[in-house]
Amino acid sequence: MEAELCFPQLFNASCKKHLRRYPEAIFIYTLLSFISLLTVVLNLLVIISISHFRQLHTPTNLLLLSLAVSDFLVGLIVMPFQIPLTEPCWLLGDLVCVLYYLITFITVCSSTVNMVLISVDRYVAICDPLHYPTKITQRRVQISVLLCWVYCALYSFLILFDNLNNPGRYNSCYGECVININGGVDLIVAFIIPISSIIILYMRVFVVAVSQARSMRSHIAAVKLQRSVTVTVKKSELKAARTLGVVVAVFFMCYCPPYCASFSGYAFTDFLVLCTSCLNPLIYAFLYPWFRQSVRLIVTLEILQPHSCQANVL
C-alpha cells in the first residue's frame, strides 16, 4: 500500500502523510479548540476589567494588562494555528507558516519580558516600599511596556530574518512548516537571561518578605495605630508578591520542559508553553478578589450602566 501524499500533483516533491486515527484526531482538535477559546475569554475578561475600572489603573495592573494582551493574542491567533501543525500536512503555504512563527515569537517573548517587569515591580514594592510611588510611576510603566513590545518585535524579526526573506527555504518537501533559528541565541536571550533575572529578583523579594514578617512579629510594643497601618500596607504588598509568585512558578513549569528538551519540536512541549496564557487568568480568578468582582459586573452587564467605571471592585 502506497503512502498518501500531501500534494499528489507534486509527486516527486510532496511530503508523505502520516495518518492519525480518527478518534485521536477528534480528541486533539476538541482539546486544543477548547483551550484556545478559554484562553481568549479569560484574558479578555482581564483586559476589560483593568481597562474599565478606574480603581484598577495602577502600575502593577498595567503590567498585568500587557501580559493579558499577549496571552489574548496567543489564544486568538497562535493556538488556532497550532491545530494545523498537529496535522501530517501544512496546507496554508510557506509565508503563513513563517508569519505564524513570527507572531508566536513576539507574543511568547512579550510574556517573558512582562514577567521580568512584574518581578521588578514586586522587587521595588517589597524591598524599597517608601520610594515605590516615585520609582514606579504610571508613565514609567507605560514606557516600559511599550519598549517591551518593540524589543520583542525587533528580536523576533531578527531571529526569523532568513525565514521571512525566503519562506520555505528549510522545508525538505512540500507540505512542511519548518523554520530555522539560532537555537543558542534564542536559549540565552529568550530563556536564560529573563529566567535568571526573575529568579534573582524573587529570591531577594522572598528574603526581604521573611525579614519583614519577623520584624512585624517582634515589634509588639509599637504604637497600635501606626503598627496597624504599616502591617496593612505590608500585608497587601506581600499578598501581591505571593500571587505573582504563583504566576511566575506556573510560568517556569510550562516554559522549562521545551527548553530542557533542546527544542525537541514535539507539539506537546510547544503547546505547554502556550498553556501559560490560559493558566494566568485562572490564577487571578483564584487569588485576586478584584478579578472575581469585576468579572461578576461584566457578566451581569452592570458595566454598561453610567459611571460603572467608578465602581468599587477592591
Q: What is the pLDDT of residues 45-90, one digit of tens each?
A: 999 999 999 999 999 999 999 999 999 999 999 888 887 777 778 8
With a cut of 60, say whether residue 228 has pLDDT above it.
no
Residue 309 has pLDDT above 60, yes or no: yes
pLDDT of 310 > 60? The answer is yes
Contacts of 269 (CB under 8 A, 6+ apart): 257, 258, 261
Predicted model pTM? 0.82
Please name which of 50, 58, 39, 164 lies closest in space to residue 107, comparing C-alpha atoms: 39
pLDDT-wise least confident of 104-118, 181-195, 238-252: 238-252
pLDDT, averaged across the chain: 80
Cα–Cα distance for residue pair 239/301, rounded to 1 Å: 29
Report all structural domains of the chain as residue ranges with CATH numbers, in order of start: 22-214+223-310 (1.20.1070.10)
Nearest to 199 by CA among 258, 77, 115: 115
Distances (CA, A) of 229 to 135, 176, 196, 221, 290: 22, 62, 34, 15, 21
